[in-house]
Amino acid sequence: MQQPNIIFFLVDDMGWQDTSVPFHTEITELNRRYRTPNMERLAAAGVKFTQAYACPLCSPSRVSLMTGLNAARHMVTNWTLRRDQETDTARDDVRSADWNVNGLCPEPGVSRTVHAETLAALLRQAGYRTIHCGKGHLGAHGTPGADLLNLGFDVNIAGHAAGGPGSYYGIHNFSAAWRGGDRIWDVPGLEKYHGQDVNLTDVLTREAITEIERSVEDRRPFYLYMSHYAVHAPWEKDDRFYRPYEESGLPEFEATYASMLESQDDSLGEIMRSLERLQVDQNTVLVFMTDNGQPKQVPRNRPLRGHKLTPYEGGVRVPLIVKWPGIARPGSVYSRTPVIIEDIFPTFLELAGAAHLVPKDGTIDGRSFVPQLDGSQCGHAGRALYWHYPNTYDQPPFSAVRYGDWKLIYFHADRKFELYNLRDDIGERHECSQSKPTEVRRLSRLLTRHLEETGAKMPVTIATGEAVSLPDGVISGL
Ligand code: CA
């Protein structure tokens, strides 16, 4: 079978309801507010996953994508930027775990990094031309992982260590310098657009399409990691889409955010049209996903609770749509079992006919969801999903597990548990750890075992200098 082209279209910081495609059982206010017609088209041609998850913030999700590892194992648990410099903020009670502040590294022995074979490197080994476009945010500045060309990509468009752009505007050279911001956020490699009245999202799209054209001309399968900087801060309106939202009465900030959402959707449409024009759309798997829930500044993704950096569904549940012509049933919905971002790694290798390249030493946490796409299997029954954020940036540190309908959150600083039944209570309004002690014990045992098995590091209690207990250690003391 001919290897399909693979496009992973990843939007930054876009929430579960930040689209006109409903992922909930009913259409919400935000579904009506935002216009994402190309996502609607994609959903009509593919499978919509309503229970897809990522990590609660950028670098952890991106490292899980590239390695197939759960965050508890790769320990790039907070956002990365500068070598050896933690991005955590101080608290009185606990300090962050000793996490991998330098991110993902293509070579062993670099301090505070996780070293692993990357998805891009393995796809290249399988014969793919590998293209990175947009936000990298995988390794800290000054480490080998900051350079996407060291991580298995043949081409790097505009990616580096930073997790956001200085500006979306060509007239500002995609730099924050015009408002006195740090040059570390300057988007690299797009000098030919400097000074022009263009938007970064559009520029990345044009550059990506040029690389798709090159790959088609070369008759090589390609993997395009279309990693948009949008819709991450700084929130700067895209004038091509702003006015109708303003005229509908939205305040300036909300209309700005909406224009950025429509801007990335326009990019999706441009890419879909280019695949059709080049007559490769029937042999291209196109996957849409986002890397975490929406940030706290933007309108809430009701009915979900919480936002980016929190363990609640609003922080970790994300849109996922997979179009695989001829295999995945058009317009279908997959809601039976949840999937998580580290699953992309083995899924793409299987799509590429390269499942044999999935590391066999048992350390991959992700599981291929190809069987759910081709209908040969209905999901991994009895599987638990895990989150680990032992950090103190903006929100309190936690670990969490989802098993079946239940989700247990363990907050590290006060050693408190919260238990929710997501089937009955997707908004996590009814905390039931007191009334369901058996479920608490069962999920705590799973979470404890996972944290032990992955060698996860925990925050440190400042008063004692000791690591915070694993959840079972707290339960046994109750
Ligand atoms: Ca993000």
Per residue in 222-238, pLDDT (tens digit) is 999 999 999 999 999 99
CA of residue 148 to ligand 1 center, whole Å:
18
Residue after which a domain boundary falls, among 356, 372, 388: 372
CA of residue 278 to ligand 1 center, whole Å:
31
Same domain, yes or no, for 289 and 437?
Answer: no
Residue 378 forms part of a structural domain: no
CA of residue 13 to ligand 1 center, whole Å:
4
Classify residue 29 as exposed, middle or buried by CB count within 10 Å of its CB (0-12, 13-18, 19+).
Answer: exposed
CA of residue 350 to ligand 1 center, whole Å:
26
> How far apart (Å, rounded) are the C-alpha atoms in residues 152 and 119?
8
pLDDT at 1: 62
Q: Residue 389, SS3? A: strand
> How far apart (Å, rounded) are the C-alpha atoms in residues 400 and 380?
19
Same domain, yes or no, for 231 and 295?
Answer: yes
Q: Which residue type, as a one-letter code, is found at position 415?
A: R
> How far apart (Å, rounded) are the C-alpha atoms in residues 3 and 354?
10
DSSP 77: -
Q: How far is CA 438 from CA 285, 420, 433, 435, 443, in A?
A: 43, 13, 9, 9, 9
How many beta carbons lie within 10 A of that of residue 364, not counting itself?
21
Within 13 Å and on the Cβ side, how many CA atoms surround 230?
A: 28
CA of residue 475 to ligand 1 center, whole Å:
33
Residue 391 forms part of a structural domain: no
Same domain, yes or no, for 236 and 345?
Answer: yes
CATH of the domain at 403: 3.30.1120.10
Residue 384 forms part of a structural domain: no
CA of residue 66 to ligand 1 center, whole Å:
15
Query: Angle at which helices 344-351 and 58-67 pack, to 10 degrees?
Result: 40
CA of residue 466 to ligand 1 center, whole Å:
31
Residue 387 forms part of a structural domain: no
Residue 316: which H helix or E strand, with range? helix 313-316
Same domain, yes or no, for 349 and 316?
Answer: yes
CA of residue 128 to ligand 1 center, whole Å:
26
CA of residue 59 to ligand 1 center, whole Å:
7
Residue 241 forms part of a structural domain: yes
Total domains in the fold of the chain: 2
Residue after which a domain boundary falls, among 337, 372, 407: 372
CA of residue 60 to ligand 1 center, whole Å:
9
Same domain, yes or no, for 124 and 266?
Answer: yes
CA of residue 293 to ligand 1 center, whole Å:
8
CA of residue 205 to ligand 1 center, whole Å:
19
How many beta carbons lie within 10 A of that of residue 180, not counting itself?
6
CA of residue 58 to ligand 1 center, whole Å:
4
CA of residue 438 to ligand 1 center, whole Å:
35
CA of residue 77 to ligand 1 center, whole Å:
13
Same domain, yes or no, for 341 and 472?
Answer: no
CA of residue 2 to ligand 1 center, whole Å:
34
Within 13 Å and on the Cβ side, how many CA atoms surround 39?
A: 29
Name the E strands within 62-103. Answer: 94-95
CA of residue 141 to ligand 1 center, whole Å:
18
CA of residue 292 to ligand 1 center, whole Å:
5
Task: Give the Cα-Cα-Cα angle 388, 393, 398 (nearest 5 degrees).
Answer: 30
Same domain, yes or no, for 405 and 361?
Answer: no
Residue 377 forms part of a structural domain: no
CA of residue 184 to ligand 1 center, whole Å:
18
CA of residue 107 to ligand 1 center, whole Å:
25
pTM for the model stands at 0.98
CATH of the domain at 229: 3.40.720.10
Same domain, yes or no, for 324 and 426?
Answer: no
Residue 402 forms part of a structural domain: yes
Same domain, yes or no, for 269 and 325?
Answer: yes
> How far apart (Å, rounded) are the C-alpha atoms in residues 389 and 409?
11
Residue 446 forms part of a structural domain: yes
Is the alpha carbon torsion for 464, 468, 474, 478 positive or negative? positive
pLDDT tens-place values along the chain, 478 residues long: 689 999 999 999 999 999 999 999 999 999 999 999 999 999 999 999 999 999 999 999 999 999 999 999 999 999 999 999 999 999 999 999 999 999 999 999 999 999 999 999 999 999 999 999 999 999 999 999 999 999 999 999 999 999 999 999 999 999 999 999 999 999 999 999 999 999 999 999 999 999 999 999 999 999 999 999 999 999 999 999 999 999 999 999 999 999 999 999 999 999 999 999 999 999 999 999 999 999 999 999 999 999 999 999 999 999 999 999 999 999 999 998 899 999 999 999 999 999 999 887 768 999 999 998 877 776 666 799 999 999 999 999 999 999 999 999 999 999 999 999 999 999 999 999 999 999 999 999 999 999 999 999 999 999 999 999 999 999 887 6
Same domain, yes or no, for 164 and 236?
Answer: yes
In which domain, by residue range, is 403 found?
Answer: 396-477
CA of residue 462 to ligand 1 center, whole Å:
29
Shortest CA distance to 384 belongs to which of 473, 454, 308, 446?
446
Same domain, yes or no, for 401 and 365?
Answer: no
Whether the bond between 234 and the residue before it is cis, its omega within 30 degrees of 0, is yes
CA of residue 12 to ligand 1 center, whole Å:
4
Name the E strands within 198-241. Answer: 222-227
CA of residue 185 to ligand 1 center, whole Å:
15
Residue after which a domain boundary falls, among 372, 405, 432: 372
> How far apart (Å, rounded) are the C-alpha atoms in residues 151 and 141?
14
Cα of first residue to Cα of last residue in the chain, in angstroms, is 57
CA of residue 307 to ligand 1 center, whole Å:
11
Same domain, yes or no, for 126 and 264?
Answer: yes
Two tokens, residue 108: 């062993």
Q: Which residue type, as a one-letter code, is found at position 444?
A: S
CA of residue 441 to ligand 1 center, whole Å:
32
CA of residue 240 to ligand 1 center, whole Å:
24
> How far apart (Å, rounded) are the C-alpha atoms in residues 58 and 431?
28
Chain center to CA of 306: 16
